[in-house]
Structure 1
Amino acid sequence: MKIIIEGIHANLRFSAAHMIPEHESCGVIHGHSYIVDVEVEGEPTGKHGFIVDFKDVKGIMRKICKKLDHRLLVPLKSPLMDIQVGEDKVEFQVSGKEYKIPREDCCLLPIQSTSAEGLAEYFAKELYGELREYNKMIRNVKVCVNEGIGQGAIFTYPGV
């Protein structure tokens, strides 16, 4: 059984800046207004027979969205960026350019890329980890991170 939450209607959204190093058009800092959709698959349990309560899923997702909202997303595992994190600033070099950004303006993520694909994987793993505390019968979560209407990337964790 599955539950679904459409981010556009549930206010699962955030706006953030990022870059895709060495990409022709996305290799410069630019931003998107993202919308995040969610599916959770598992077996209903408990007194109410829920897979998981919708409000719990939305609460977790909103917390993650808030963490990323209005920040520069920095992929700490990027093989294309040389990143130094200081107490008050983040410095990185990419494609011959040097950047110095206040630490408070950045969201440092343990991923290789801040592409829609990378963000979908990040959200799915974070959500799955938290939801398993509610219901061990959850099989997987599927998250779609939309960079615009009609275009997004989907990641299922763990894989089906």
Structure 2
Amino acid sequence: MKVNLDGIHTNLRFSAAHMVIGHKSCGKIHGHSYIVDVEVEGERSGQFGFVIDFKVLKDITRKICKTLDHRVLIPIESPDLEVTYEDDKTIEFTLLGDCEYKLPKSDVVLLPIPSTTAESLSIYITEKIVEALPDTSTLDYIEVQVNEGIGQGASYHKTL
């Protein structure tokens, strides 16, 4: 049986700035109002016969969205990005060897991903949800879709 969270109706969203390093138009810092949809399939179990408790899944996903909300998303596994300085207050980084940025660290989220595309963000959010779930033994898969706006997004399907 499948259960779904429709991000636009369950308020699973975040707004963030990012760049797709090296891309002709998306390589500049710009932002999106992201919407996150989640689908889980598994066996009904427990006292209430849930596949998964909606409240638990929403709370986990909202917490992840909150960590990304109103931040600049930086993909630290990008081969085209080098963090040149970092302390408690500031982060400095260089893109493609020549474009330098200096930002307040409180405005930045350093993500262990190669890019901040919807594709990479869907993998990142999926993995964070799975890490936070108390039990996945009755679940078959989870799929997370990250939408950069209504009508366009990317999804990642993880077998559990």
- TM-score, normalised via structure 2 length: 0.94
1:33 CA displacement:
0.4
Is residue 52–residue 135 contact of structure 1 (8 Å, CA) maintained in 2? no
Unaligned runs of 5+ in 1: none
State the SS of the aligned residue for 2:91. strand
- 1:98 partner amino acid: E
- 1:11 partner amino acid: N
Instruction: Give me the whole-angstrom Cα distance separating, in 2, the residues matched to 1:107 and 1:134.
Output: 28
- 1:89 partner amino acid: T
Q: Please name the residue that 1:122 is paired with.
A: 124
- 1:141 partner amino acid: I
Instruction: Give me the whole-angstrom Cα distance separating, in 2, the residues matched to 1:111 and 1:149.
Output: 24
How many residue pairs get matched? Answer: 158
1:157 CA displacement:
1.5
Q: How does 1:2-151 map to 2 (within 5 A)?
A: 2-84=2-84, 85-95=86-96, 96-131=98-133, 133-151=134-152
Aligned residues: percent identity? Answer: 52
State the SS of the aligned residue for 1:114. coil
1:134 CA displacement:
3.1
Instruction: Give me the whole-angstrom Cα distance separating, in 2, the residues matched to 1:77 and 1:135.
Output: 28
Dislocated runs of 4+, deviation >3 Å: none
1:8 CA displacement:
0.4
State the SS of the aligned residue for 2:40. strand
Unaligned runs of 5+ in 2: none
- TM-score, normalised via structure 1 length: 0.94
1:81-124 CA distance string (max 9 Å, x none): 01243221111101321001110000111111110001000011
- 2:154 partner amino acid: A
Instruction: Give me the whole-angstrom Cα distance separating, in 1, the residues matched to 2:91 and 2:39.
Output: 34
Q: RMSD between aligned alpha carbons?
A: 1.2
